[in-house]
């Protein structure tokens, strides 16, 4: 058996459909040989057609989940997804400062679900921008999220390096800007402004499929797993992108909307 290593505490919302959120995070970290732990920030009633409801988790209970995990198990990387409300963001920041100083943080600024449903209250945007992002080792916004954060339009792949630099000016050590939302049939481009200030461009052919639900959560968690396992950031991102691509290509085709990935693409067949 492969030895499991790399402890990742995932702070995010739950997706009842299993394609995104904490479910995708756990699957991704596990599939790449890491150990996933969780602090659930919100419950969603969700499927491939969209988000049908959100049930809030009290901030005090989010704090308790984080404290008991960090005090006992520790973490090699923190992955942050859906935080939803200002008080949740403030609580998460407080516990990270007191219980996980120096632990790398991968923050996926989850704002909008695949179907267009808002996953972040308006009042939480300022807290995210000014309080959480400056703490992050790496942020992983998609283009719509990046445009909100920097209040600027990103028209094409050539705009992405400058946008990544604008995002870095908000305080994170590194930025992975994902270009999947660019229109057209051209190559899919992501850019990484790494923690050494170097710009990296990743390019792949697009995959023609609607089954891409949870790609952002999956990529961020897979990257966090790599960082937890000691990979250099650019290698952690490259491995995560390869994993996500393989998971999309082998998707199970479930649901009638934006279907899930095959997070178990790395797992041997026991059938």
Catalytic annotation, residues: 178, 212, 214-217
Q: In sequence order, what DSSP letters do the residues of 76-116 get, joined into one string? A: SEEEE----SHHHHHHHHHHHHHH-TT--EEE----B-TTS
**Farthest CA pair distance, the chain:** 50
Question: CB atoms < 10 A from the CB of 197, how many?
Answer: 10
The tokens for 101 are: 């100083």
CA distance 236 to 73: 23
CA distance 59 to 39: 11
Q: Distances in Å between the alpha carbon of 215 and those of 99, 139, 188, 207, 239? A: 29, 15, 13, 13, 14
Please answer whether residues 65 and 36 qualify as being in contact, where contact means their C-beta atoms are separated by less than 8 angstroms.
no
Q: What sections of the chain are H helices per DSSP?
A: 21-31, 59-72, 86-99, 122-127, 143-150, 160-168, 215-228, 233-249
- Nearest partner of 224 among 3, 11, 1, judged by Cα: 11
The tokens for 93 are: 């920041």
């Amino acid at each position: 058996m492969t030895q499991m290593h790399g402890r990742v505490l995932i702070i995010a919302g739950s997706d009842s459909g299993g394609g995104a959120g904490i479910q995708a995070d756990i699957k991704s970290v596990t599939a790449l040989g890491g150990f996933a732990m969780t602090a659930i920030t919100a419950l969603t009633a969700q499927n491939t057609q969209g988000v049908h409801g959100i049930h809030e988790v009290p901030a005090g209970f989010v704090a308790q989940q984080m404290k008991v995990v960090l005090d006992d198990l520790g973490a090699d990387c923190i992955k942050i997804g859906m935080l939803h409300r200002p008080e949740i963001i403030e609580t998460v920041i407080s516990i990270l400062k007191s219980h996980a100083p120096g632990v790398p943080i991968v923050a996926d600024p989850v704002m909008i679900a695949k179907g267009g449903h808002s996953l972040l209250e308006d009042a939480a945007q300022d807290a995210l921008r000014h309080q959480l992002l400056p703490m992050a080792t790496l942020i992983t916004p998609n283009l719509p999220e990046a445009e909100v954060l920097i209040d600027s339009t990103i028209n094409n792949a050539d705009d992405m390096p400058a946008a990544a630099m604008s995002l870095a000016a908000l305080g994170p050590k590194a930025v992975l800007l994902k270009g999947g939302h660019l229109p057209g049939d051209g190559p899919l481009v992501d850019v990484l402004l790494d923690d050494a200030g170097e710009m990296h461009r990743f390019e792949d052919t697009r995959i023609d499929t609607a089954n891409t639900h949870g790609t952002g959560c999956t990529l961020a968690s897979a990257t966090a797993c790599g960082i937890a396992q000691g990979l250099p950031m650019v290698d952690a991102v490259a491995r995560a992108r390869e994993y996500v691509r393989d998971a999309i290509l082998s998707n199970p085709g479930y649901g009638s909307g934006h279907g899930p990935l095959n997070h178990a693409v790395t797992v041997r067949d026991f059938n």
